[in-house]
Structure 1
Amino acid sequence: MDNRIFSQLRRWVREGIVFILLALAVMWGVDQYRKPAIPASFSATPMQSIDGKLYDFTALSQERPLLIYVWATWCSICRFTTPSVDKLANEGGNVVSIALRSGDDAKLERWVEKKQLTVPVINDERGALSQQWQVSVTPTLVVVSKGQVVSTTTGWTSYWGMKIRMWWAGV
């Protein structure tokens, strides 16, 4: 009886591992398909946030990895991801966000205040930056280390998924 239970448990563990590996392979494949084609010169010009501060992605990513979070106020998935990004920023994470086609600065600033977000927000009001970067999915998360894109992912990502990507980029 004990042998049979152990054998069944071992089979479930083996099938669970195979399932997890297949799920990871599918997620990786989807990310590769939807991955933005960020140009090499993406960080050549500092960008201004809605509060007037300038952000230089290359400089910000020299000491520790930078998470660039591309999102939109109208994005339903972003409603679940944005709080995690903001939590990461509140904990001292190196994070900058880019709001895609979410209105003018005043409208976006009201939305940010209403949601009590503390993450810096750069407004891509007309989508020119996202078009240049070929971002076709929101949310998109880009990890930059020493001025180079080291990781991109699209769609929902957990807080721990972001932390792991940032940690991995810094290793």
Structure 2
Amino acid sequence: MTAASLITCPSCGKTNRIPAAAPGRPRCGNCKGDLPWIVDAGDADFADVAEQSPVPVLVDFWAEWCGPCRMVSPALDKLAREQPGRIKLVKVDVDKAPGLSRRFDVQAIPTLMVMVDGAVIERQAGAAPAQALRSWLAAALAKAGR
């Protein structure tokens, strides 16, 4: 079973418990607004959390010791918070998920992927400025018709 995370509603400020995997999009229990979906996944739960997501997924392969990963992480969190209900940010720690690192041939970190309906539609390695990440994600979502 995957863990839930606590997310503050951007509309009303209430804290909500968000499951890592769910059939719909997370909504605030108080105001019913869409919530940002930011979760962790690993080898055991990636299929449920990312590949079966009802919304496009931005996957971040990272490691705690990686400086560029720590620089990119706040920008990715901000992107997910700017698009509640439209994307799901799934963070994969490469040290804790070696199977996923091998499966997706992660050679450098951070490595970012956009997945739609379980398929990788875009991929990029290395740290990029926030605006470049925003443009890259928007182009990927447009390509997917989202």
Q: TM-score, normalised by structure 1?
A: 0.50
* Conserved? CA contact 1:143–1:165, under 8 Å: no
**What corresponds to 1:147 in structure 2?**
118
**Higher fraction of strand:** 2
Aligned partner of 2:49 in structure 1 is: 56
Q: Percent identity?
A: 27
> Which residue in 1 is equivalent to 2:63?
72
Spell out, residue by residue over 1:33-67, the C-alpha distance to the aligned partner (whole angstroms, 9 max, x if none): xxxxxxxxxxxxxx94585733432332x54x321
Q: Is the 8 A contact 2:20 2:49 kept in 1?
A: no
Please give the secondary structure, in 1, of the residue aligned with 2:121. Answer: strand
The 2-side partners of 1:126 and 1:150 are apart by 21
CA distance, structure 2, for counterparts of residue 170 and residue 144 of structure 1: 9
Unaligned runs of 5+ in 2: 6-18, 22-47
Q: 1:126 to 1:143 in 2, by over 3 A?
A: closer
Aligned pair count reads 100
Aligned counterpart, 1:127: 98
Match of 2:77 among 73, 81, 86: 86
Q: Which has the higher contact order (CA 8 A, sep 6+)?
A: 1
Amino acid at match of 1:81: V
Alignment CA distance shift 1:50-1:132 (3 Å): farther
Indicate whether 1:95 and 2:89 are aligned: yes
Provide Cα deviations, 1:69-122, integer angstroms capped at 9, x if missing partner: 100000111121111111112222421111121xxxxxxxxxxxxxxxxxxxxx
| Secondary structure of the corresponding residue to residue 115 of structure 2 | strand
Q: Residue type matched to 2:60 in 1?
A: Y
Cα deviation digits, residues 113-135 of structure 1 (max 9, x gap):
xxxxxxxxxxxx15222122221
Q: SS at 1:141's partner residue?
A: strand
Structure 1 pair 89/154, CA: closer, same or farther in 2 (3 Å)?
Answer: same
Opposite residue 98 of structure 1, the aligned amino acid is V
Instruction: Give the number of the structure whose residues are more often helix, by fraction.
Output: 1
Q: 1:152 to 1:73 in 2, by over 3 A?
A: same
